[in-house]
Chains A and B, each alone.
Chain A
Amino acid sequence: MELAIFILTSLVAIVAALLVILQRNPIASVMYLVTTFVAQAILFIQLRAAFIAILQVIVYAGAIMVLFLFVIMLLNLRREDFGKDIKLKYKPLAVAFAMVLLIETLVAINASMIPALPGADLSATFGSVQGVGKELFTTYLYPFELTSVLLIVAILGSVVMAKKKL
């Protein structure tokens, strides 16, 4: 049962990911990207990462994708801007690179040195809000505080960039 859900969900994720880059209309692309993200959230739940799965839906599929949609609608693209979306010149290069990368990944996974620990005993709070929060505010407190600097820089940067006249 678990395997069946995994196969179905990952198929949805992969097909939607393919459709993201094959669409001409960026709005359709965004919708397929949301589909991929939700499918990945289901995979996260299977991996007992409940908090991250909810964050994935709220932050990624919700906030970031809405930002994308806003910008696409703001740009007011005309139909001819969609154009032929594939650069034919680079297609062989892309396929070659992709094959190399994929084969490399599969070989690396096949020969991976990671000891398989199926069902490593997990604590009761594994992946819950409580568990992630505790890690975030104890072991990883310093990187967590640094994130605030990153966000301030991002806010300033986007305001400066989008301004009409500096």
Chain B
Amino acid sequence: MVPLEYYLVVAGIIFTIGMIGVIVARNIIIIFMAIELMLNAANLAMIAFSRNLGSMGGHVMVFMIMTVAAAEAAVGLSIIIALFRNRDSANIDEVNLMKW
């Protein structure tokens, strides 16, 4: 059996990549995808712990996280559509109305 630590390291690396994406990317859709990456890294850690403790709680938690991710994708993508309609661009540097 693969030790728990290996899975946690992989989850940590994927989470870090997602965070770099949120900071560095300019296209709002790619920022959104980086957030999905971070959610998924959390899922992986959850399932690994669940396997190692022999308890099913983590599976239910992942189920809930997937629901939240679906809701977040629906609302977030409609925000992106509204933004694109008003700004005609997917570049977040051009969204500076609230910035002084």
Instruction: Report A's interface with B, CB cutoff 8 A.
Output: 2-3, 6, 10, 13-14, 17-18, 20-21, 23, 26, 29-30, 33, 36-37, 40, 43-44, 46-49, 51-52, 55-56, 59-60, 63-64, 67-68, 71-72, 74-75, 77, 81-87, 90-91, 93-95, 97-98, 101-102, 105-106, 109-110, 112, 114, 116-122, 126-127, 131-132, 135-136, 139-140, 143, 147, 150-151, 153-155, 157-159, 161-162, 164
Name the B residues within 8 Å of A81 (CB-CB).
27, 89-91
How far is it, in angstroms, between the C-alpha of A76 and the C-alpha of B27 when the chains are bound? 14
Q: Is the interface of B mostly helix, strand, loop or mixed?
A: helix
Q: Give the Cβ gap from A107 to chain B, nearest Cβ, in Å.
A: 10
Q: Which residues of B contact A84 (CB under 8 A)?
A: 26
B30 near A21 with CB under 8 A, answer: yes
What would 5 more interface pairs be, CB under 8 Å, given A10-B6, A105-B12?
A: A10-B10, A17-B37, A64-B69, A118-B3, A120-B52
When each residue 45-83 of chain B gets 1 if its CB lies under 8 Å from chain A and 0 otherwise, what string results? 001111111101101101110111111111101111110
Contact of B78 among A20, A114, A162 (CB under 8 A): A162
> Considering the complex, which residues of chain B in the window 1-56 have a beta carbon less than 8 Å from any beta carbon of chain A?
1-10, 12-21, 23-27, 29-30, 32-34, 36-37, 40, 43-44, 47-54, 56
Q: Across the interface, which residues of A come within 8 angstroms of B52, CB to CB?
A: 114, 116-118, 120
Given contacts A46-B2, A47-B48, contact A154 B30 (CB under 8 A): no
* Size of the chain B interface, CB-CB below 8 angstroms: 72
- Distance of A105 Cα from B44 Cα, bound (Å): 14
Q: Are A147 and B67 in contact (CB under 8 A)?
A: yes
| A48 in complex: contacting residue of B34, B51, B64, B66, CB < 8 Å | B51
Find out whether the CB atom of A59 lies under 8 angstroms from the CB atom of B53.
Answer: no
By a CB distance below 8 angstroms, the chain A residues around B4 are: 114, 116
Chain A residues with Cβ under 8 A from B72's Cβ?
154
**Using Cβ atoms and an 8 Å threshold, which residues of chain A touch B57?**
135, 139
